[in-house]
Amino acid sequence: MLNWNDVLNFANKGNPVPDKRIEKTDAEWKAILSPDQFRITRKKGTEASFSGELCSRYEPGKYNCICCGSELFDSSIKYDSKSGWPSFTQPIQVNAIKYEKDRSAGMTRIEVMCNVCDAHLGHVFPDGPPPSGLRYCINSDSLKHVSVSLTP
């Protein structure tokens, strides 16, 4: 289980190696993403709090990167942080997420991105619930919820 020290080490010393890499031009991303998805994931934008459709969804499933389809989070680690964005306590696997220091907006935060395609997802903070204490605060427009079938 990752904790805040792990996140800081990744941001300061280098990220885990992803299982694969996907790289496209802005034109290629624009062809497959909505304007809001492109602005958020490729230009490091954000959506208004409480505006994303995934903010209040808690059905079983996986949360995949809207750009490349990589699995990022599981519904079992999603919780209501009351922040207005979907929040998770852990990535689905250690190398799913890339971490970088973000000094925009007059503060220092840790930006989280898809480690496969570098899509901006949101930020991680050390104010989440136990046991990890992490809050991955993620834009709905950077995610695709994939339902899990409960019947074989």
Write down the domain spans for the chain. 4-147
Those residues with Cβ within 8 angstroms of residue 44's Cβ, 6 or more apart along the chain or in another chain: 104, 111, 120
Average pLDDT of span 124-130: 97
Closest CA to 76 of 54, 64, 93, 59: 59
pLDDT, tens digit, 9 for 90 and up, residues 6-46? 999 999 999 999 999 999 999 999 999 999 999 999 999 99
pLDDT bin (cut points 50, 70, 90) of residue 104 is confident
Q: What angle do CA 12, 123, 105 make, to 5 degrees?
A: 90
- Catalytic annotation, residues: 137
pLDDT tens sequence across 54-85: 999 899 999 999 999 999 999 999 999 999 99
Q: Say whether domain 4-147 belongs to CATH 2.170.150.20.
A: yes
- Predicted TM-score (pTM) of this structure: 0.94
Nearest one of 93, 52, 42, 44 to 71, comparing CA atoms? 93
Q: What is the pLDDT of residue 29?
A: 98
